[in-house]
Amino acid sequence: MIHTLLPYSKQTIDRADIDSVIRVLKSPYLTQGPTIELFEEKLKEKTSAKYVVAVNSATAALHAACFAIGIDEGDEIITSPLSFAASANCVVYCRGKPVFADIDKDGLIDPNEVKKKINKKTKAIVTVDYAGQPSRINELKILCKQHGIYLIQDAAHSLGATYYHKPIGSLSDITCFSFHPVKTITTGEGGAITTNDRSIYEKILKFRSHGIIKSKQYLYKKNEGPWYYEMQTLGYNYRLTDIQAALGISQLSKVEDFVKKRFSIARIYNTSFKDLEKKEKLILPKERSKTTSAWHLYPLRVNFSYIGKTKKDMFIYFHKQGINLQVHYIPIHLHPYYKKKLHTKIGDYPKTEMFYEQEISLPLYPTLKDKEAERVIKTVYNFINNS
Ligand SMILES: *Cc1c(COP(=O)(O)O)cnc(C)c1O
């Protein structure tokens, strides 16, 4: 039997998405037009945040967040080593130093480890909602309050998740979202920042577009003339286009459906693998109490040493069966750049390193069919029991 290659993730695009983009292509504004603001309004509704700034990636969002809280040389930010490089890179963009704190059993930054790393130079925590699960926000917030530091939430994975019945986006000082095609919703490339703090919002607005201000209320010289604008700080071009925002609006209306579908597939996996977990061959991802996950990933952990096989064996085996796997993540502190810059090494964050050793992400996306999930499950069983 010939199978199509199953990816580990992919976007879900329908007719309404395509029509929404075409409407903007026929309109006067491809960028800096009204669709951006409409997208920001819709994001406000979904996240319950007071202020939203749409940008062209979560990387830009994280950079803007570090800029807005004034990170500079000599400042430290504590973050998770189990993440995509961008959640540490944003600190370096602002000449600050990322300091890592090890994870808990679910892959989330452990507040007890964070506590050990806080000192006078610490300005913020960048917490990562690994695999779509909300971070341990309440515990982190207590630490932030005690030490007068900010909480930045890298929510690239968690749009559509809930924490104590609240949506992700208004829980931390600043929340950063990604709309890359593998994430909950997509705009091609794209991201957004949410905050309830007006002054942070204003800083990020400027930062998104060269540090330039046009609206009269914010100008230093208010009566120069109608052509007048001011560059007040150094900013970037981190703008999202109206074309992308149109896709975002259409996608956003489906976020609950997407998450529901992801959850139902995760549940099929969890039910099917229960006995392998009992035999201690696998560790399955679970939702923490008082939270729901956006199920960005299905991070399966395999006890490779116990079953006498390697992760590489598993990748090759699955690829032969037409299934692509992925690993989330290579610990950030073990990338050559950070080893050189921060003098980090193997053994520094043992829980993260163990997680990396065992973790593989199975295919999970809204259009994955039950039959395809069953094929993945069968392949896991065959790999563990026979190959
Ligand atoms: C995807 C991702 C990012 C970066 O998002 P972009 O929109 O691609 O810049 C940052 N952090 C995490 C945890 C991610 O998964």
> Residue 206's CB: how many other CB atoms inside 10 A?
21
Q: 141 C-alpha vs ligand 1 centroid, how far in Å? A: 23
Lookup result for tokens 């931390």: 172
Q: 183 C-alpha vs ligand 1 centroid, how far in Å? A: 9
Q: 178 C-alpha vs ligand 1 centroid, how far in Å? A: 6
The closest residue, in CA terms, to atom 10 on ligand 1 is: 86
d(CA 135, CA 383): 32
Ligand 1 environment, Cβ below 6 A: 57-59, 83-84, 86-87, 128, 154, 156-157, 178, 180, 191
Atom of ligand 1 nearest to the CA of 190: 7
Q: What is the pLDDT along the chain (387 residues), one digit of tens a residue?
A: 556 799 999 999 999 999 999 999 999 999 999 999 999 999 999 999 999 999 999 999 999 999 999 999 999 999 999 999 999 999 999 999 999 999 999 999 999 999 999 999 999 999 999 999 999 999 999 999 999 999 999 999 999 999 999 999 999 999 999 999 999 999 999 999 999 999 999 999 999 999 999 989 889 999 999 999 999 999 999 999 999 999 999 999 999 999 999 999 999 999 999 999 999 999 999 999 999 999 999 999 999 999 999 999 999 999 999 999 999 999 999 999 999 999 999 999 999 999 999 999 999 999 999 999 999 999 999 999 986
Rounded to two decimals, the pTM is 0.97
What are the angstrom distances between the C-alpha of 150 and each of 18, 75, 77, 198, 332?
39, 12, 9, 15, 22
Q: 62 C-alpha vs ligand 1 centroid, how far in Å? A: 9
Of 247, 245, 253, 258, the C-alpha closest to 295 is 258
Atom of ligand 1 nearest to the CA of 60: 9
Contact call for residues 183 and 249 (beta carbons, < 8 A): no
How many CA atoms, within 13 angstroms, populate the side-chain half-sphere of residue 86?
Answer: 20
Atom of ligand 1 nearest to the CA of 183: 1
Q: 317 C-alpha vs ligand 1 centroid, how far in Å? A: 28
d(CA 245, CA 42): 11
